[in-house]
Amino acid sequence: MYRLFNALKCDANYLHQDELNAVDYCPERLRYEEMKHIGKYRLLDKYGKDMVDTVLIRS
């Protein structure tokens, strides 16, 4: 369980709460816009992913 908490960068209490938006114990949570970008990235072919990776590495 500790490995899971560390991998998610979350407090154990965050995963055990009944209401997920009650308290923000997980500062590494992605915003909706970020999740959309990740979804689009996953749909890219190898060339497209290479282009995005190149831009991000240089920034």
- Is-contact 25 10, C-beta < 8 A? yes
Write down the residue that tokens 């831009």 correspond to. 55
* Residue 7 exposed, middle or buried by CB count within 10 Å (0-12, 13-18, 19+): exposed
Predicted confidence at residue 22, as pLDDT, reads 45
* 14 pLDDT tier (thresholds 50, 70, 90): low
Enter the pTM of the model: 0.50
Tell me which DSSP letter residue 45 carries: -
- Is-contact 5 12, C-beta < 8 A? yes
Q: What amino acid is encoded at 36 in this protein?
A: K
pLDDT tens for 15-59 read 666 555 544 555 567 788 888 888 999 999 999 999 999 999 987
Predicted confidence at residue 18, as pLDDT, reads 57
Q: In whole angstroms, what is the distance from residue 13 CA to residue 4 CA? A: 13
